[in-house]
Structure 1
Amino acid sequence: MTDIAVERDALRLFEQALEIPDHQRAGWIAEQCGADPALRARVETLLRAEASGSLRTGGAVDEIEEAPLPARIGAYRIIERIGRGGMGSVYRAERDQDDFRHKVAVKVIKPGLLSDRLVERFRAERQILAELSHPHIAQLFDGGETEDGSPYIVMEFLAGTTLRDWAIDQAPSRGERLAMFRQIASAVAFAHGHLIVHRDINPSNILVVDGRAKLIDFGIARPVELMRPDDGVMGARALVGEMAGVQDAPALQNLTLTPGYAAPERLTGADISTSVDIYSLGKLLAALFPDTGAGKGRGARGDEISAIIARASAEDPADRYPTADALIGDIDALLDGRPVSAMPQTKLYLVRRFVARNRLLVAASSTALALILVATGVTAWSWYRAEEAARQEARRFGELRSLAGFMIFDLEEQLARTVGNISARRALVERAQAYLLALAATENAAPDVKADAADGLIRLARVQGVPGSPNFGDNETARTNLLQAIRLLDDPAIGGGRQAAARAEALSSLAMILAHSDSDTAAAGERLQLALAGLADVPAGERGEAWFSAQRRTRHVELELALLAEDVEQLTRLADALDRDVTTRPVPATIKAADRMTAEFDHALADYYRGLVGYITDDLTGAVARENASVQRLQQLDRQLPNDPQLLFQLAWSAYTGHGAASSSPAMARDADNFLDIARSTIDRLVLLEPQDRSIRSFSANVRSAQAHALTDQGKFAEAIALQRTVIAQLETALGSDRKAPALNRLVIAHGMLAGFALRADDVKLACTHFANAQQLFEELVRRDKVLGFVEQRVRNVQANLELCRKGAPASALTPLVE
């Protein structure tokens, strides 16, 4: 048997042995261990350690010689040492500065133990406590380092007893024990809500002060994002060995856990999650209700408490309560006399619970009692059927809600990175939309359900047809979904922060449709201002992750509208603001790879827009440098996250803009070619991923036009003209029957470019044909009042060219529309 297997089996047998009477324990251990002397020796060692009180969290450090009592720590006068823990000593102290006094507890790492790992862990405890302000969690007041560099924290002084002593000394009733346990579980649920796992919940880490529970010792707690399978035997051995300054420290004795309360996965190397605390809570409830077999009494366990304990402390994490709140729900049900979910939901049990809650219905006389029992039975059965139907309906509703979220936010995103999935993605999106609309249409839908449905509709809209990122090209369906999301978000019960963030996401996406699909930049600006105003109204303290995500998206839209207006001052200001947003955005306790990639993408985007400023203002060297920086950042991200459509979209645009700037100067010809190669290869990848996106097909045509322009510079006029004809064919296909204004504007430029190539090839007839085509399309745009600014500037000489064409002028007399 391996060391890990021995440790795991030893811990399991040790926990079971604690329930065996002392006079029977030796024989029981011999029977369980059989012919495995190593296992038996390990179990006996653990039992001896438990009996002597030496088996504690980080027990190895107790062997370090105790340091002299310090006189002061920071602003606090040390009165006495009141405890020793796995990381150091705890002192009772008094603040005697700044005209006020109060007693506190000061926890300091023991001298001689200042390894980097231990200091890091201690500082982590300080940071964790700073984030956890809860009536049943020990409060942090202050922190710092002593003169010799030892970190310390200052906490509220808790003059209480441990939970175990409280249960023995006070002999609380069943209700009092359950109420105390609920306080503890609420503290754990609060910590989990802040993504903190305690990892060592046991009676010694809970103090009872004036009848209230206080959860202490977060010294080995970790944020959920930092959880990794490092709590196994070998990992613990290495950590404790480093802390204690010894080699090959005994593994289980020095684990950062308390045997009897630690979940089995702590020894198996499995991933650690909030489920380990659920297990410990189950064991804690068992300690509050020892299984004495007495049946009834002040601390009797009973079937329901036994069922709650069994579910919470199940060996398989999947069989436990999913959250601490779910466990609290069963405790509340027990206190209220309602059915407990951990119990088998038999008809008899449900009727018993109903009768127990309605005792006043029972009459004193036997005749009345019989009648009431019959009525109660009928009522209870009807109630059971109604309750069961409601549970089934709630379960189906929850499954539908979860499925829609998975389809939109997880599965679709994964499929988007794989070539050839377009049909599957479209079917997936359509089905998800049906689910979301069903959720939103539910009678009396809860505010959080409406908000979830709105979030999903906004995400669907981006997939379907919001310009600025790859999509299916269905602008109208996207618009409909965004308007539906905004209507759902009109419910004031959703809450300020979440409501403002979601509305901003919807309004900024709608602004992109108005600007690019409708060429209505005025209406787009109005929607954007509404989004910005809503975000600004949210108090700073309520600005969570969703708020900052919405701020980021509105910033992107601000930049895009400034670009359409060719407002270089606004573009520069907003690009600088985007960089500042990245650096001032709150840093999560654990920075995920996705957070770093988002930040790097925004830096690349800021460089892209600065490059455009250089291009517009003829600072070509600066434009090329900025676009090169953007391309390099995005290529690095592409290596980390291949085939991400949004990333490829921006990479192609940065390279395309860099090519435009570099091709304007012969000195940067090599840069121009390099940019063009990157843009062409990237857009080809993107077309394979998003073949139905009109904007991407149009963009692909623009890149091909740039390639054709490069061919004319090389004197390859026939090849350039042939390639530009395919570009026009692409754009006409993308134009479709609805003849969207942005596509018409691009087609005007494409015809103008082909006319210019023809002039360089001295083909006047071909040039005049495409000048006429450009003019015809331009006049259609004028009638619809949909001419984009850059198009209007480039067709000013088309009338003069057409007049020269009618006069039979040579190619040298005509002026190209697009240089």
Structure 2
Amino acid sequence: MAVATEKSIFFHALEIESPAERAAYIEGACDGDEQLLTAVCALLRENDREENPVDRPVGAAWMSTDLVSDDVGVATTRFFPGAMVGPYKLMERIGEGGFGLVFVAQQQAPVRRRVALKIIKPGMESREVLARFEAERQAIALMDHPNIARVFEAGVTETAQPYFVMELVRGVPLNEFCDHHQLNMSERLKLFVTICHAVQHAHQKGIIHRDLKPSNILVTLQDGQPLAKVIDFGVAKAIGQSLTVKTIYTRFASMVGTPAYMSPEQAAMSTDDVDTRSDIYSLGVLLYEVLTGSTPFAPDRLQSAGFDELRRIIRDEDPPRPSTRLSTLNNELASTVAVNRRLDPATLSSAMKRDLDWIVMKAMDKDRNRRYSTAGAMAEDVSRFLNDQPVEARPPSTWYRFSKFARRNKVGLSTASIVACALLLGTAVSVWQAHTAINERDEKEIALEEARAAEQVANAARLELERFNDRLNSTTVLLASGRANADAQRWSEAYQAYTEATGVLPKYFLVWLERGGLNAKLGRWDAAAADFAKAVEIGCPIEQAELSGVPQLLFFAGESAAYDKLSNELRRVEKDDPMAVTMRGQLVGDVTESAAAELADRVEQMLAAMPNPDDSEPNHESDRRRRKYAEMFYGVNLYVAGWAHLRAGNHQRALQRLQESNQASWFGRGIAHPLLAIAHHRTGNAEDAVGSFEQSQALLDRLLDESVSQSKGSPVIPWIDWIEFLLHHREASIVVKGHTPANDPRMQQMERFADERISG
């Protein structure tokens, strides 16, 4: 093996960007030869020095003559334990990088505390080193996060040597801490999440670390819990800002970072194209090592590889998944890794679930567009795994893997594709022609069978319809005679006849429901209420009463006993299942806010699922009928949603839905005016409340006038909606005007018209 010379060491050192790695290389290459070490350092200083007073460091001359050698052969200066740097007394040297020394220091004033003090090594004060030192100091000063070491102060010694003081972190590298304390998988992942949050904070401040590795993440115990601290922003890069007024020159064809943790874009040595996703890659490598105990690419292999081969490995080779790496460990190493994670060696590889494989490999994807967009997104995915929730990371699709294979094998794949396409095309044409002939034959046979089946169904339906009409006509005559005479006995006879005609046995309360419904349609409220009360008394089911509008009419007519009985039953059903009460049943009675809110949510879901009838124009008569029904149901749902939001206290949403119901085309258009008046009143809009009430009064007058002028017993709208409108108008009058509305003589006139029709 050739002996390293001063020249070869010097030229190789120039290729190393990181000051820390450069210093380590020089010390190893010199192998304890102090004379050779001094000569190489002098050459490097001369290479970095520029012949002008601005770039030449002040005080460099005296520092170069003040160098001595310590007991381990490392160059040091007058900065030793016990020396003072400003108000700080140096206690112990705890670290050394390519261009800096780190000491434990005791601050003397204005407070006494232990800190870490970092100062440039004498003899390393080139313009580039000074600029990187100032950039590191500024980068840390920008950040304020519990998992990032804080800067307390910065200054310059009497000899013009810059230093800065930061938080003293008494910790060990991340991987050593996890193994020494034998953290299990869950504990390691929780600690890793805090590191992701720290990196996310740095990215939000516009700082890319570019050298995330275990030695730059120190972990200590605080109150019995592990606390990680990200340190060493010596090669950090700023986004959209400048960390120093000095120029940092990155040599051509040089890499920044540690190869084992370096992203492919860093290995490509295009520093202008490195963004925050480079740190995401390094976080993926960190997680890989925390879980498996080794980096994706073995450090020995990277160190032995040549420069171009190292870059090729990082940029092109896909590392094995973490679970694969664990399954291929030898017995001794697998046992050590399992013990450090408190696992059984037999289940070591199975402990790495597929989700963790996906998370790690997504962060380490060669294509940075497929990585996590932020460190926070990666932390969220790890948290989802810890909470047994589906993770966002997924393995690359088959098409993605195929596209990468195709790019690597373009020529062979192109030739094979042409041949395959020709064969497939010929086969496809032959199959298509045969398939077309078979389909034509089958379609004719199927069409003939469908025509025969349709004819049979139509004949059967016509016969059934004729029989049904015959039974319905005979039953209608009997029912009509019972209604006209308002005689319960005749009603019983009518239902007996209905039973004989249809074979269905009706229940007796249906007699009173039918007669009550007829009286309600005619506007005979008292008679209808009496019939409904009788139906409730003899056991009318709550569901049937709701659908028939019984609660509304009993409440309006003052049938308190029957209404109370029905209300108690409604509340019992609502307690067991709030959504079991239908929409119309909830429009009367003591509806709780929670039940109203639940009803509002359900109706909103129905509205979201329904297409807006105004979005399409009907082209045929069937389309117009469908649109008419769609408009009706859409308007009803808007009205019910507005009422439910109002009862739930969501007044703004209630106003929106009620106004939309008044604009929709349905039979109850306009009956939302009194509810709008109440909603405006509760939101403090007195003027709008009065306006809506006046519109409600105008609608009431119009409907009453039409009914009286045409000698009708009730308006043209369904009587259940009419009752609800009257109830809500009375409520709005109390809320907005402060009094109940006066009895309108037109109401009595409508009842007289109804009595005349019955008696006639």
TM-score range, shorter chain: 0.3 to 0.5
Taking structure 2 as the reference length, what is the TM-score of the superposition? Answer: 0.34
Taking structure 1 as the reference length, what is the TM-score of the superposition? Answer: 0.32
